[in-house]
């Protein structure tokens, strides 16, 4: 394909309720959406990409303004030669951007937009492209840190009554053993897991081992992003299976994490790992090594949620993911909302990766737009 135009839209979407993790409290999602217009076999087609980066570098080193800068100044220009030669494909994007170190969320958004355009031009759904045969995936929900345990129990009850099939509790120092105990006592059989977003150190091992009493599916990223060795040591001191999120940034690091005993389960977020194609490679590595994976979420709009739902239909995704309904975070999504049906989210089967945004809702949510020439 040849890229004709790229627009970088910054959206501001209010959250239905504040979302508190060990790294921040968010009341609004500011998100970069890429609109890429390309020419494929003489016809114009639009591809959409969504970037996971937050406004601050508190989940990972990437952040929205940095993504905007690196995208316009360093990433898109590297696609120019392949684009003018009409040789650009989604499968070539990672290689063309390979000299730029890191910036995986920025790269993922570009690759997603190119892949979306490519599949739309071919009339192929992402689900078909991945070879997924399921029509729907079970839906889990991530529950932020609350002000009190009674409030937490109410929030969890609310989600369970909507049909969510798995609960993930955010934990941090001072909000870990007792809240988890309370939820487990109230719901002895609910699939339950915890996520610390790197809030602890190995010195907390015996404290964290108290979580072993609650029959958790997994503990996610208790230690720092670069503490792979400490995760392996902590895993030896707990029975709860160790799951990595932040530390796994590629198929190579997924293989290391598994082989070193740092991860028994992997959370795959396409944005964190540089895109859906690397996400698929992580899935394949994990399946080869007998490790289950699940699809994480980054408060995606319908654009990213559509792609995640298809990815989560791959066979290695045996643990319920953070793919909840649009109304978990947004009163009004920019696409047709994803709804919970019997605790599941439908996998889209229309051509492309993304769900297409409604132009009126997209415009209403947009706080800045820039046009970049490739
Ligand atoms: O369902 O989209 C969702 C949110 C799931 O908890 C969730 N995401 O640490 O996994 C996480 C957290 C997150 C959100 C991380 C936004 C980074 C950005």
- Measure 27 CA to ligand 1 centroid, in angstroms: 13
User: Which residue puts its alpha carbon closest to atom 14 of ligand 1?
Assistant: 298
Name the residue of 19, 55, 249, 296 to mutate for ligand 1: max ligand atoms within 8 A of Cβ. Answer: 296
Q: Please name each of the domains of the chain with its CATH number.
A: 2-123+359-372 (3.30.390.10), 128-346 (3.20.20.120)
Contact assessment for residue 293 and residue 331, using Cβ atoms and an 8 Å cutoff: no
pLDDT tens profile 187-237: 999 999 999 999 999 999 999 999 999 999 999 999 999 999 999 999 999
Q: Which atom of ligand 1 is nearest to the CA of 170?
A: 6
User: Which residue puts its alpha carbon closest to atom 13 of ligand 1?
Assistant: 298
Q: Is 269 a catalytic residue?
A: yes
How confident is the prediction for the chain on average, in pLDDT? Answer: 97
Q: Which of 359, 297, 348, 304 is nearest to 323 (CA)?
A: 297
Please give the Cα distance from 64 to 62 (Å, whole number): 7
Q: Which atom of ligand 1 is nearest to the CA of 322?
A: 1
- Measure 148 CA to ligand 1 centroid, in angstroms: 21
> Does the model's pTM come out above 0.85?
yes
Please give the Cα distance from 184 to 343 (Å, whole number): 20
pLDDT of 48 strictly over 80: yes
Name the residue of 15, 18, 21, 220 to mutate for ligand 1: max ligand atoms within 8 A of Cβ. Answer: 21
Contacts of 124 by beta carbon, 8 Å cutoff, 6+ apart = 351
pLDDT tens profile 94-116: 999 999 999 999 999 999 999 99
Query: Is 59's C-beta closer than 6 angstroms to any atom of ligand 1?
Result: yes
pLDDT of 374 strictly over 90: no
């Amino acid at each position: 394909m040849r890229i004709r135009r790229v627009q970088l839209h910054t959206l501001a979407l209010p959250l239905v309720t504040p979302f508190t993790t060990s790294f921040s409290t968010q009341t609004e999602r500011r998100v970069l959406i890429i609109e890429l217009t390309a020419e494929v076999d003489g016809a114009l087609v639009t591809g959409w990409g969504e970037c996971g980066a937050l406004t601050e570098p508190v989940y990972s080193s990437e952040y929205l303004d940095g993504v905007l800068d690196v995208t316009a100044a360093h990433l898109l220009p590297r696609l120019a030669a392949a684009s003018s030669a009409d040789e650009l494909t989604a499968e070539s994007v990672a290689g063309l951007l390979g000299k730029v170190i890191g910036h995986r969320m920025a790269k993922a958004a570009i690759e997603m937009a190119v892949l979306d355009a490519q599949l739309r031009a071919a009339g192929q759904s992402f689900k078909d492209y991945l070879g997924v045969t399921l029509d729907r995936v079970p839906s889990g929900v991530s529950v932020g840190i609350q002000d009190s345990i009674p409030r937490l129990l109410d929030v969890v009850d609310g989600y369970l009554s909507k049909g969510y099939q798995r609960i993930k509790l955010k934990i941090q120092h001072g909000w870990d053993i007792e809240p988890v105990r309370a939820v487990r006592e109230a719901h002895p059989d609910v699939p339950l897991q915890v996520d610390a977003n790197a809030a602890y150190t190995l010195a907390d091992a015996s404290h964290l081992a108290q979580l072993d009493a609650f029959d958790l599916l997994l503990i996610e990223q208790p230690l720092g992003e670069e503490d792979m060795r400490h995760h392996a040591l902590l895993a030896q001191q707990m029975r709860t299976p160790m799951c990595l999120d932040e530390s796994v940034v590629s198929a190579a690091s997924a293989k290391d994490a598994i082989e070193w005993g740092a991860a028994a389960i992997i959370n795959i977020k396409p944005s964190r790992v540089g895109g859906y194609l690397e996400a698929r490679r992580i899935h394949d590595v994990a399946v080869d090594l007998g490790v289950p994976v699940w699809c994480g979420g980054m408060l995606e709009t319908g654009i990213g949620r559509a792609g995640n739902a298809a990815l989560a239909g791959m066979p290695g995704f045996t643990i319920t993911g953070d793919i909840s309904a649009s109304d978990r975070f947004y009163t009004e999504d920019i696409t047709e909302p994803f709804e919970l049906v019997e605790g599941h989210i439908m996998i889209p089967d229309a051509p492309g990766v993304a769900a297409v945004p409604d132009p009126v809702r997209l415009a209403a949510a947009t706080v800045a737009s820039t046009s970049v020439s490739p």
